[in-house]
Amino acid sequence: MAGCALALAGCSEDDDSQEPPPPPAPAKALVVGHRGASALRPEHTLESYRKAVEDGADIIEPDLVSTKDGVLVARHENEISGTTNVSEVAKFADRKATKTIDGVQLTGWFTEDFTLAELKELRARERIPQIRPANTQYNDQFEIPTLTEVIALAKQLSEQTGRIIPIYPETKHPTYFQTIGLPLEDRLVTALKADDYTASKATVYIQSFEVANLKALRARLGTSQSNWKLVQLLEVETLRPYDFTVAGDTRTYADLMTEQGMKEIATYANGVGPYKRSIINVDSEGKFMAPTALVRNAHAVNLTVHPYTFRPENSFMPAPLKVAGPDSTRTPAGLIAELHAYLDAGIDGFFTDDPAVGRQAVDSYVP
């Protein structure tokens, strides 16, 4: 009866007929290089994306913001004092400003106040040097890449590796950029259609923490781009999409995670990208709790689930998986154990800062 135990279908105690063949093996979970291989190179640089693919990432992820002249560039935030050397460039000292982004007041330097040519004068730096001190050796070496350059790199890496490298762009602060006359969506569609690689060959996952811009993209695209997938990102349950706040919609991300919420998401998106603790939380001691209904609710309406973010350092590990040493100490075995728990929960892929470890976790996983 071994076949019955595996298939869990089509078997009974007195069934003496020939056992059905086992179901096909599920596809391996996708390893998404979060901002590239950002545990090993300064994030959102071509070198970080290249390292991610070299280390086994299936997909690379550029976060997108706009320049003053409307060019999409890869930065996690439009405020760039923590990821570039801008604060030390005297000619740009007067660009320092205080702005309110998604209801939060920030002081620094913002991409929308620089032309692309000016941003190209800057150099990338490690965002969290206290956690990733080794990455500081690469400070001031790499440029801020444009979306077009990221696409060209993915195309080049595809040719070099013999496998299609999808991209997973995120529209950052879409409502904010709309209010300042620099909407991201039209420029994103134009850039993706301008290269045959993203227009028709590679899968492109377009993600957003907001809802309205994904709905607008679905209405605009319909089914015309079968290789483009829309992904609704989901923050922690108590927070609210910023476009909901602006519109006076009181629903939170928790509402989007319910059965009904997932049904609504499925009308315009192909997947969800939840914060990982919304799938498996930890108790007061850091031990994994039972999985929530999120994956089940998503899969019930054919949405893929790609949680974020899996990182290899002690600072980001639940207590039982930490190792001796400071927050910066790497614990690859801990990350693999964490990922195996999420793979058990049925995720379809995941965002990781260390694709090499993510690849080890996927390749060593036994359902």
Place of tokens 């907001």: 210
Domain assignment present for residue 15? The answer is no
What pLDDT shows up at residue 26?
56
Range of the domain at 325: 30-364
Q: Is the separation of the CB atoms in 89 and 121 below 8 Å?
A: yes
| 57 vs 49: CA distance, rounded Å | 9
Domain assignment present for residue 160? The answer is yes
Domain assignment present for residue 17? The answer is no
The domain that holds 69 is classified in CATH as: 3.20.20.190
Total domain count, the chain:
1
Beta strands 63-66 and 170-171 are parallel
What pLDDT shows up at residue 9?
33
Alpha helices in 229-278 (DSSP H): 242-247, 253-256, 259-265
Domain assignment present for residue 163? The answer is yes
* Tally of residues, the chain: 367
| 121 vs 15: CA distance, rounded Å | 73
Domain assignment present for residue 12? The answer is no
Domain assignment present for residue 228? The answer is yes
The burial of 332, by beta-carbon neighbours within 10 Å (0-12 exposed, 13-18 middle, 19 or more buried), is given as middle
Domain assignment present for residue 337? The answer is yes
Domain assignment present for residue 19? The answer is no
Hey, what amino acid is at 348?
D
Buried b (16+ CB within 10 A) or exposed e, 83-94: bbbbeeeeebee
DSSP 276-333: GGGTS-B-TTS-B----SHHHHHHHTT-EE--B-B--BGGGS-GGG--SS-TT-B-HH
- Residue-level pLDDT, tens digit, the chain, 367 residues: 333 332 323 333 344 445 555 444 458 999 999 999 999 999 999 999 999 999 999 999 999 999 999 999 999 999 999 999 999 999 999 999 999 999 999 999 999 999 999 999 999 999 999 999 999 999 999 999 999 999 999 999 999 999 999 999 999 999 999 999 999 999 999 999 999 999 999 999 999 999 999 999 999 999 999 999 999 999 999 999 999 999 999 999 999 999 999 999 999 999 999 999 999 999 999 999 999 999 999 999 999 999 999 999 999 999 999 999 999 999 999 999 999 999 999 999 999 999 999 999 999 999 9
